[in-house]
Amino acid sequence: MEITSTQSTQQNVDREVVQASLVKKALVAEMSQKVQILQSTQLPPEVEQDTSVVGRYINVKA
C-alpha cells in the first residue's frame, strides 16, 4: 500500500472545492430562475383584489 503525497491530496481537495463551488453556483442560479418564474406568474396585489372605493363602485355598477 502506497501513501500518496500531500501535494496530490491537496490537489484532490482543491478539485473537490472547485466542483462544490460550481455546484453551489448552479443551484443558486436555478433557484433564482425559479423565483423569477414564480414572480412573473403571480398577479400584482391590486389586480388580485381591488378593495378601493372606486373599485367597489365599479363592481357594484357593473
List pLDDT tens digits, range 12-54.
999 999 999 999 999 999 999 999 998 888 766 655 555 666 6
Q: Is 4 left (phi over 0), alpha (psi -120 to 50) or beta?
A: beta
User: CA–CA separation, 32 vs 26, rounded Å?
Assistant: 10
Residue 3 has pLDDT above 90, yes or no: no
**What's the CA gap between 54 and 46, in Å, rounded?**
12
Q: Which residue has the cell 398577479?
A: 43
57/47: higher pLDDT = 57
Spell out the domain ranges in the chain.
Answer: 13-42
Task: Give this prediction's pTM.
Answer: 0.52
